[in-house]
Amino acid sequence: MIKRDSLFAEPLTQVSDFVFDEKVVEVFPDMINRSVPGYQSILHGIGQLAARFAQPHSNLYDLGCSLGAATLAMRQNVAHIDDVKLIGIDNSPAMVERCKLHLQGYRSAVPADIRCEDIRDTRIEEASVVVMNFTLQFVPPAQRDALLAAIFAGLRPGGVLLLSEKFKSPDPAMDEVLIDLHHQFKRANGYSELEISQKRAAIENVMQPDTLSTHQQRLQRLGFHQPQVWFQCYNFAAMLAVKP
């Protein structure tokens, strides 16, 4: 049963910083589908790309796995590859608990280890696929380089990073255009003006988007080959970057 997200529907005297607690977990599938343009298309693409880049005897990571949507997308597409292991990480205890239950509902021969930990502490090793589907944006900007460097080090040659992010435009007027289009998308999905503005205030301090060129330059600087945007809708994009 999918529960409808109405977390920001009533006027709040003070909007607190967004956290991934039990209340968010309850409505998360509805929230992310109605808030992130192209979310289902991106999950589909993650499945395709995992099938293409997963190597035998390797680990596939889903960093910031929430309820395991990307883990499941990979799992359904790599069952034919010998000895792959899925590792999902999230630092929200409520998410991890629900994620484990959710995955139990889908039978598969591919082992999946879901762990509650901070992705900044995760040891990435023998990886052929590392997914960060809208997670890096919650890591403080000053720590993004170190995290991506650790991912690069843990990837095998030929392995891929699948990085999806909300991004900002370097030009304020263009940024406003993209944000307006995104808000129209949310309105079309049934969110009110009040919900949109209160949610915006709640994520303002928690989620700091980079520009697409910041992402691409960082990935290149760390050694990834030719980072490529493979999906974009408004201010949301999915990139792939291969370790040479």
Ligand X SMILES: Nc1ncnc2c1ncn2[C@@H]1O[C@H](C[S@+](CC[C@H]([NH3+])C(=O)[O-])CC(=O)[O-])[C@@H](O)[C@H]1O
Phi, psi of 151 (to 5 degrees): -65, -45
Based on the shown chain and the rule CB under 6 A, indicate whether residue 198 belongs to the binding site for ligand X: no
- Sequence-ordered list of residues with C-beta below 8 angstroms from that of 75, at least 6 positions apart, any chain: 86, 106, 108, 110, 112
Name residue 74's amino acid. Answer: M
Report the nearest approach of ligand X to the CB of residue 206 (Å): 9
Residue ranges of the alpha helices (H) in 54-92? 69-75
Q: Which residue is nearest to ligand PPY (CB)?
A: 35
Q: Confirm whether residue 119 is marked as ligand binding.
A: yes
- Residue 163, contacted partner among ligand PPY, ligand X, none, CB below 5-8 A by kind: none
* 101 vs 225, beta carbon nearer ligand X: 101
Positions that interact with ligand PPY (CB under 6 A): 31-32, 35-36, 166, 199, 203
Phi, psi of 158 (to 5 degrees): 85, -5
List the one residue from 49, 50, 60, 69 that touches ligand X (CB under 6 A). Answer: 69
What SS3 state is found at 162?
Answer: strand
Q: Each residue of 94-106: b (16+ CB within 10 Å) or e? A: bbbebbbebbeee
Q: Confirm whether residue 82 is marked as ligand binding.
A: no
Q: Confirm whether residue 90 is marked as ligand binding.
A: yes
- Residue 199, contacted partner among ligand PPY, ligand X, none, CB below 5-8 A by kind: ligand PPY
Based on the shown chain and the rule CB under 6 A, indicate whether residue 163 belongs to the binding site for ligand X: no
* 13 vs 104, beta carbon nearer ligand X: 104
Report the nearest approach of ligand X to the CB of residue 89 (Å): 6
List the one residue from 22, 82, 113, 118 that touches ligand X (CB under 6 A). Answer: 118
- Sequence-ordered list of residues with C-beta below 8 angstroms from that of 45, at least 6 positions apart, any chain: 230, 231, 238
* 18 vs 53, beta carbon nearer ligand X: 18
Give me the sign of the Cα torsion angle 129, 116, 3, 139. Answer: negative
Report the nearest approach of ligand X to the CB of residue 202 (Å): 11
Distance of CA 95 to the CA centre of its chain: 14
- Residue 176, contacted partner among ligand PPY, ligand X, none, CB below 5-8 A by kind: none
Name residue 46's amino acid. Answer: I
Residues shown for the chain: 244
Three-state secondary structure along 176-234?
HHHHHHHHHHHHHCCCCHHHHHHHHHHHHCCCCCCEHHHHHHHHHHCCCEEEEEEEEEC
Binding string, 75-114, against ligand X, x = CB under 6 A?
--------------xxxx--x-------------------
Report the nearest approach of ligand X to the CB of residue 214 (Å): 18
Report the nearest approach of ligand X to the CB of residue 16 (Å): 16
- Residue 66, contacted partner among ligand X, ligand PPY, none, CB below 5-8 A by kind: ligand X
